[in-house]
């Protein structure tokens, strides 16, 4: 068994490294974007946007069902510290001789769902959940989203249309046992529709935590209203109900060439 002081220090360091990995890379990305100011550097600027595949930092996660235990999430299990392995092994009830670190890349969907229950589900009751093809990659994404939701940090997911952004958030909300509402945004949506959606959500928030999901924020003309909601958590000049958690999705950046911008336009 590792010394208590060592494991405490290691867990704290792992948590701090995860925070630095996210925050520092975001700052560097912004600096890199500011260095490119002309249109010729647009491709380079888009290339500085942080990608999901760029992050490979192991995460130590306190389980929801048993808060005095932890789980380790990672892509490459060779990067997990030996002391973390020892702590995980100490949590095993029964024979520990055959214990080995989980390989999320080869685990079955059922095994991954059990892991997600430990991470996210607050109660120990059996939930009647719809079928969901959970992968190791999505498990880590859900854990990172859940960390931000617990800290009331807004989450914006960037991905291609139809890649499963909405279903991922919706399923996680079912697992966490919170209310969930989504609003599909598009160029033709009215501001009144968004306001009515928020009014209804504010009322439902009185009953408990509620997750709100705005899909397609990059297609909406009322980006100022959405910025107040997502970035500042303000609605009608007041702070939103503390039980509201905000999530949104957008499509990846696309560089429009001059020929694409002028397509279909001819002089007569």
pLDDT digits (tens, 9 = 90+) for 76-122: 888 888 888 888 888 887 777 778 899 998 999 999 999 999 899 98
Which of the four pLDDT bands, split at 50, 70 and 90, describes residue 255?
A: low
Helical segments of 36-153, H only: 42-47, 82-90, 109-120, 136-150
Q: Which of 48-52, 107-111, 250-254 has the lowest mean pLDDT?
A: 48-52
| CA-angle at 172, arms to 63 and 73, nearest 5° | 45
| CA-angle at 9, arms to 7 and 10, nearest 5° | 60
Q: Is the pLDDT of residue 171 over 70?
A: yes
Q: Which of 16-25, 163-172, 242-251 has the lowest mean pLDDT?
A: 16-25
pLDDT at 160: 84
Q: Is the dihedral of CA 201, 204, 206, 210 positive or negative?
A: negative
Q: Are strands 210-215 and 179-184 parallel, antiparallel or unpaired?
A: parallel
Q: What 3-state DSSP class applies to 124?
A: coil
pLDDT at 1: 46
Which of the four pLDDT bands, split at 50, 70 and 90, describes residue 67?
A: confident
Q: Is the pLDDT of residue 70 over 90?
A: no
User: Which has more confidence, 164 or 222?
Assistant: 222
pLDDT at 221: 92
Q: Which CATH superfamily is domain 152-263 in?
A: P-loop containing nucleotide triphosphate hydrolases (3.40.50.300)
Taken as a whole, the chain contains a residue count of 268
Q: Where are the domains of the chain?
A: 1-150, 152-263
In Å, what is the CA distance from 109 to each residue of 21, 38, 72, 116, 173? 28, 47, 18, 10, 18
Which of the four pLDDT bands, split at 50, 70 and 90, describes residue 66?
A: confident
Which of the four pLDDT bands, split at 50, 70 and 90, describes residue 196?
A: very high
Which of the four pLDDT bands, split at 50, 70 and 90, describes residue 51?
A: low
Which of the four pLDDT bands, split at 50, 70 and 90, describes residue 132?
A: very high
Q: Quick one: how far is CA 53 from the chain centroid?
A: 14
The whole-number average pLDDT for the span 234-259 is: 85
pLDDT at 163: 84
Query: CB neighbours (10 Å) of residue 87?
Result: 20
> What dihedral angle (degrees, nearest 10) is formed by the CA atoms of 181, 203, 174, 17?
90
Query: Is this model's pTM higher than 0.75 or not?
Result: yes
The chain-wide mean pLDDT, for the chain, equals: 82
């Amino acid at each position: 068994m590792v010394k208590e002081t060592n494991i405490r220090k290691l867990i704290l360091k792992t948590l701090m490294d995860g925070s630095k990995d996210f925050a520092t890379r975001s700052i560097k990305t912004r600096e890199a974007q500011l260095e490119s100011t002309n249109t010729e550097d647009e491709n380079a600027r888009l290339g500085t946007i942080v990608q999901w595949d760029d992050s490979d930092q192991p995460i130590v996660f306190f389980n929801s069902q048993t808060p005095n235990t932890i789980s380790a999430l990672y892509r490459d299990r060779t990067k997990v510290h030996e002391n973390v392995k020892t702590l995980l092994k100490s949590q095993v009830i029964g024979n520990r001789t055959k214990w080995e670190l989980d390989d999320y890349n080869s685990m079955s969907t059922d095994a991954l769902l059990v892991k997600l229950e430990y991470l996210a589900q607050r109660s120990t009751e059996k939930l009647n959940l719809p079928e969901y093809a959970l992968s190791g990659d999505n498990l880590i994404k859900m854990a990172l989203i859940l960390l931000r939701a617990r800290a009331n940090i807004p989450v914006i997911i960037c991905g291609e249309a139809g890649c499963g952004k909405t279903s991922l958030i919706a399923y996680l909300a079912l697992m966490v046992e919170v209310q969930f509402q989504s609003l599909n945004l598009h160029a033709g949506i009215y501001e009144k529709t968004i306001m009515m959606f928020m009014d209804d959500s504010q009322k439902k928030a009185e009953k408990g935590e509620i997750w709100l999901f705005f899909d397609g924020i990059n297609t909406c003309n009322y980006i100022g209203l959405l910025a107040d909601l997502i970035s500042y958590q303000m609605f009608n000049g007041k702070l939103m109900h503390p039980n509201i958690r905000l999530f949104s999705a957008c499509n990846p950046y696309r560089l429009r060439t001059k020929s694409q911008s002028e397509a279909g336009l001819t002089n007569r």
